[in-house]
């Protein structure tokens, strides 16, 4: 049986990977860069809910050095364009891949409802909620069969968010 890993990536991993001023540590950058490289080599998939991109962009906007801020913004822009054009390096997911505006509104309602009723009490934000819902959606849509075992993980440095992943990741970096 082949194990296929699907990773839902949180903002905290991108802050390290992009080395956003004031939001990254050398040790974490090295570890996370290594995890991405290994996962890419094994052809695993990365899913990034659109709110993570917005949150990352907000952190980039706070970078004081204008040249550095522009460089980071361009890197993010190029990655997003690549994702839209060919699905690499990640799959961008707009709140559960809605097919219609009605489905988008339903997904937004589900997100804010779960945030208000369940996750805000645990100090998890709306972006965290969307990450959790995306992981749940992937787990539901990728059941393990006789040939493949699907494992869905959340890549985050936020322990409470990480604890919500559907499958426990071996050797996590939190």
pLDDT, tens digit (0-9, with 9 covering 90-100), for 8-26? 999 999 999 999 999 999 9
The token pair at 143 is: 């059941």
* CATH code where residue 47 lies: 3.40.50.1010
Residue 33 lies in a domain: yes
Q: Identify whether 133 is part of a domain.
A: yes
> How many domains, the chain?
1
pLDDT, position 46:
96
Q: Which of 26-30, 65-69, 141-145 has the lowest mean pLDDT?
A: 141-145
In a domain, 83, yes or no: yes
pTM value is: 0.89
Residue 155 to residue 46: CA distance in whole angstroms:
10
Beta partners for 149? 3
- As a 3-state breakdown, the chain gives helix, strand, coil percent values, each rounded to 5, of 55, 15, 30
Domain that holds residue 43: 2-162
| pLDDT score of 97 | 55
Residue 168 covered by a domain: no
First to last CA, the chain: 28
Contact 1, 142 (CB under 8 A): no
Quick one: what percent of the chain has pLDDT higher than 90? 76
Q: Is residue 69 part of a domain?
A: yes
Q: pLDDT for 62-75, tens place per residue?
A: 999 999 999 999 99
* Mean pLDDT of the 116-143 span: 93
Residue 64 lies in a domain: yes
pLDDT surpassing 80 at residue 104: no
172 domain-assigned: no
Residue 56 forms part of a structural domain: yes
């Amino acid at each position: 049986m082949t194990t296929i890993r699907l990773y839902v990536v949180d903002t905290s991993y991108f802050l390290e990977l992009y080395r956003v001023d004031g939001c990254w540590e050398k040790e974490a950058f090295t570890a996370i860069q290594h995890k991405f490289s290994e996962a890419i080599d094994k052809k695993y998939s990365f899913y990034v809910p659109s709110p993570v991109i917005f949150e990352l962009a907000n952190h980039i906007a706070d970078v004081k050095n204008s040249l550095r801020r522009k460089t980071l913004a361009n890197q993010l822009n190029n990655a997003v364009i690549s994702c839209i054009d060919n699905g690499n390096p990640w799959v961008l997911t707009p709140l559960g891949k809605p097919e219609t505006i009605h489905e988008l509104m339903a997904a937004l309602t589900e997100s804010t409802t779960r945030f208000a009723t369940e996750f805000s009490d645990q100090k998890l934000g709306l972006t965290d909620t969307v990450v959790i819902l995306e992981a749940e959606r992937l787990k539901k849509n990728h059941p393990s069969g006789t040939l493949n075992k699907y494992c869905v993980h959340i890549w985050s440095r936020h322990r409470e968010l990480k604890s919500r992943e559907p499958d426990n990741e071996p050797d996590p970096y939190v």
